[in-house]
């Protein structure tokens, strides 16, 4: 189990383990893929795992588009910030927060569906989509595949919707590049914040939790240096959230969602 890889060499792991825990602790983002394809049976199993995730009120407000066509993958790679691995992966899954299915049910039944107009419903769509996709990641790992999430699709959600013929009341929440990891890729399990920085008992203690951030900054800076990167975690957070100019166009997402039929009042 990669507990020390996830938290650093000084971390002491729990006295429990399982095959599932080992897969989860070893997860890393994979951006270079080998030649092995993802078969139809493997995709079926991965989506079955995704559909086994929790879903609020059994609404199941998500869909997924499996993209294999090389030209379409190239166009999606360009829309996602020119990330070449999107095109290189044998399979690119686009996870869709989908309130359109419920809207169509209401239309066929001739009943209103005003509750779908509110932020709560949009949040449920995104939350359930993420839960399903994370299940898919673990299932894919159990079959020998690596993956990386691609939030860059939200840079141009309307163009992505047009590319995939998404119906009204839906939006591509993120993509997932999937394939066999290339062993030559220079990457490793990225350290995370110490559990003491994120795990609170009974009450939230911000001061105690934040005491662990400087040590984590040093750990992540060392990790980044190994791979020719710069900066600590604090630098990354402050740069990524500095202002609307750092959001790659996503600061207009609320108005875009409204145009796509997700008013999120």
Q: What is the rounded distance in angstroms from the CA atom of residue 217 to the CA atom of residue 154?
A: 28
**The domain over range 31-188 is classified in CATH as 3.50.50.60:** no
Cα separation values, 86 from 50, 67, 77, 176, Å: 21, 10, 5, 8
Domain boundaries, the chain: 31-188
Q: What is the band of 1 on the pLDDT scale with cuts at 50, 70, 90?
A: low
Nearest residue to 141 via CA among 185, 115, 178: 178
Predicted structure pTM score: 0.96
pLDDT at position 8: 83
Cα separation values, 1 from 92, 148, 196, 219, 223, Å: 28, 21, 20, 19, 19
Tokens of 67: 């993209």
pLDDT over 80 (residue 79): yes
Length of the chain: 265
Q: What is the band of 243 on the pLDDT scale with cuts at 50, 70, 90?
A: very high
pLDDT at position 13: 87
- What phi and psi values does residue 33 have, to the nearest 5 degrees? -125, 150
Tens of pLDDT, residue by residue over 165-184, are: 999 999 999 999 999 999 99
């Amino acid at each position: 189990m990669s507990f020390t890889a996830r938290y650093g060499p000084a971390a002491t792991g729990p006295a429990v383990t399982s095959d599932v825990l080992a897969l989860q602790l070893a997860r890393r983002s994979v951006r270079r893929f080998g030649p092995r394809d993802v078969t139809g049976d493997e995709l079926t199993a991965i989506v079955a795992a995704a559909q086994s995730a929790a879903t609020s009120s059994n609404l199941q407000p998500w869909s997924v588009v499996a993209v294999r066509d090389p030209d379409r993958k190239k166009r999606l790679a360009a829309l996602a910030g020119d990330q070449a691995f999107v095109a290189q992966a044998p399979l690119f899954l686009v996870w869709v927060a989908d309130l359109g299915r419920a809207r169509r049910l209401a239309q066929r039944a001739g009943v209103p569906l005003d509750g779908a107009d509110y932020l709560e419903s949009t949040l449920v769509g995104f939350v359930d989509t993420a839960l399903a996709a994370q299940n898919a990641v673990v299932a894919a790992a159990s079959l020998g595949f690596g993956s990386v999430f691609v939030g860059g699709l939200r840079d141009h959600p309307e163009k992505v919707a047009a590319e995939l013929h998404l119906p009204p009341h839906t939006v591509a929440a993120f993509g997932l590049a999937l394939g066999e990891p290339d062993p030559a890729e220079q990457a490793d399990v990225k350290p995370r914040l110490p559990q003491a920085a994120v795990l609170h008992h009974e009450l939230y203690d911000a001061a105690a939790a934040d005491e662990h951030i400087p040590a984590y900054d040093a750990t992540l800076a060392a990790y980044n240096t190994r791979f020719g990167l710069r900066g600590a975690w604090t630098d990354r957070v402050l740069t990524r959230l500095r202002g609307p100019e750092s959001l790659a166009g996503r600061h207009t997402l609320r108005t875009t969602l409204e145009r796509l039929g997700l008013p999120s009042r």
